[in-house]
Every structure is written in structure tokens, then in C-alpha cells.
Structure 1
Amino acid sequence: MKTIINTPNAPAPIGPYNQAILIGNTLYTSGQIALHPKTMELVIDTIEAETTQVMENLKAVLTAANMTFENVIKTSIFISDMHNFAKINAVYANYFNEDTAPARETVEVANLPKFVNVEISMIAVR
């Protein structure tokens, strides 16, 4: 059975999708960008601030599904400039234990929604 996960603590979807879908014990999050959930304004002052907002948005979605970053088994990171990888990775690393960190791919893309610099999605399992 498909359960829709939506929380006011993460940005409202800006299209025909939900923040996450729970199927059984597996959670599939939509990609999150650095929209502040209360103002829906982009947090793009620095790549570090942008990445932090993305991760906090994902944390809110995980929390709404009664999960944490420890439940995450796979992440997909999309970035607009591979030169930002080290800074994005440094922020991302703050949210995971290196010994139990999830599988992941990082892909440079031509453009992202609202022309942001980073978007991240996750798969988590209870």
C-alpha cells in the first residue's frame, strides 16, 4: 500500500508530486532543493548554506516518516557544477556516520529546478 508523506516542515511540492512515498518499509523521497519551508524562498547565499537547507528539508521528510538519516540506504546528488563537490560533500558528511553511510551517486547536470546548485533525493528503509 502506498502512503503519501507530506510535512509542513519541508517545502510544499511545486508540481504534481509529493515529498515522499512510503511503500511497506521503504521510503522514496522526492528531490529536495534549498527552499525554506516557511517562506518558500531559496537559501542560496553560499553552497554550504544551500546544501544545509537541502539536508534539513530531507531531515524533515524523514522525520515525518518516523525515520532518521540512519535509515537512509541510497542518495542521489545532482549538482550544477562539479567544482562545488567538496563543499557539498563536507556539509553532507555532517548528517551521516561514515561507517554506516548510504550508497550514493553524484552527478553534474546542466540545470536544476529554479536553477539551484544542488538537489538531493533519498531512499530509506525501516
Structure 2
Amino acid sequence: MAGDLDIIHTPDAAAPGGHYSQAVAYGGVVYVSGQLPVRANGEHSADQPFEVQASIALDNLIAILREAGLGPGDLLKVTVYVVDIEHWPAFDRLYAQYLGQHRPARAVVPVPVLHHGYLIEIDAVARNLQPRGLQPHNLREDP
């Protein structure tokens, strides 16, 4: 049914640490929850350098997009929260490597602190022109 939510979950990205989904698809759009630099196996990386943390968060984002049958070129809007705005140039370089020529709308927001002492969190919105069929591990909920 057109009004159903498609809950997206992949073991290739960090499991939600609270009462939320990795992503939800609805109405031709995929909404990806904030991705902290937690590895897919649950290992934390708050003690790692910024570039390592950013790579892990981006890897989680890309894995969730892939589970939805999408890729970086489907991103419409990305919001990046960084603890120190001085990390912005390093993030911008890494982000360009992950996205190539694709340039979705983006905001980089400096924040004083993130959960578990992380330095970065990324959330995103992507287009979903051809919604995937539900996989056995996905849930369907009526709004």
C-alpha cells in the first residue's frame, strides 16, 4: 500500500542505539537517521581521530543507502554535525571522495558535544524513485 512505511535495516551499519530505525522510506523518500561513528559490529570509535570517525559514519550512511537499493547519487540533503568546526575542511575532502561529482544540499552544523564523546554525526534524505520490495528482515507499519 502506498501509505505504508518501509523500515530499512542492514547489519552492515551500526544498529540503532535507541528507539529508532536506521532509515525509513515513505512517499519516494528515504530518511536516514543520524549515524554516529559506531562500526557495524557495535565497536565504538570515540577515541579515534576525526577522519576515522567521519569514515565510519559515512560507511554507515552508504551501507544504509545500499540496503534501500540506493547509492550516494540518490542523496538529496545531508546534515553533518561536528564538534569542532575546524574539522570541516577534513570532512569536506573525505565527503568529496565518497560522493564524487554528486553534490546534494548540505549543512555542516558545529555543536558543543555529541553522544559518547563522538566528533561527528551524519543524517540524510535520499530519493527513492523505485521503492524496493520488502525484504524478510524489514517491517511494514501503517502510519
TM-score bracket for this pair, using the shorter chain length: over 0.9
SS in 2 for 1:31: strand
Structure (1 or 2) with the larger CA radius of gyration: 2
Contact 1:20–1:28 (8 Å) recurs in 2: yes
Q: Which residue does 1:125 correspond to in 2?
A: 127
- Provide the secondary structure at the position in 2 that maps to 1:94: helix
Question: In the aligned structure 2, how far is the partner of 1:38 from the partner of 1:97?
Answer: 27
Kindly state the Cα deviation for residue 43 of structure 1 after the two structures are TM-superposed. Answer: 5.9
- Does the CA contact (< 8 Å) of 1:36 and 1:43 recur in 2? no
3-state secondary structure, aligned to 1:74 = strand
Cα deviation, residue 106, structure 1: 0.6
Note if contact 1:21-1:27 (Cα within 8 Å) is conserved in structure 2: yes
Change in Cα spacing, 1:44 to 1:52, as seen in structure 2 (3 Å) is farther
Instruction: Please give the secondary structure, in 2, of the residue aligned with 1:4.
Output: strand
Q: Distance in 2 between matches of 1:39 and 1:4?
A: 20
CA contact (8 A) 2:46 2:117 kept: no
Question: In the alignment, residue 50 of structure 1 is paired with which amino acid?
Answer: Q
Counting matched residue pairs gives: 125
Which of 101, 106, 109 pairs up with 2:108? 106
Say whether residues 1:85 and 2:88 are aligned partners. Answer: yes
> Secondary structure of 2:55's partner?
helix
Identity, % of aligned positions: 29
> Which letter does structure 1 place at the counterpart of 2:32?
T
Q: Does 1:2 align with 2:5?
A: yes
Runs of 4+ residues over 4 Å off in structure 1 = none
Which residue pairs with 1:21 in the alignment?
24
**Root-mean-square deviation (Å):** 1.2
CA distance in 1, matches of 2:20, 2:68: 16
Question: Contact conserved, 2:46 with 2:118, CA < 8 A, in 1?
Answer: no
- Scaled by the length of structure 1, what TM-score is found? 0.94
**How much does 1:40 deviate?**
2.7
In the TM superposition, 1:32-47 aligns within 5 A as: 32-42=35-45, 44-47=47-50
Letter of the aligned partner of 1:19 in structure 2? Q
Please give the per-residue CA displacement for 1:56-114, whole angstroms capped at 9, x wherever unaligned.
Answer: 0001100110000000010000000001111111111111133x310001110111111
Distance 2:42 2:109 in 1: 28
Task: Give ranges in structure 1 of 5+ residues lacking alignment.
Answer: none
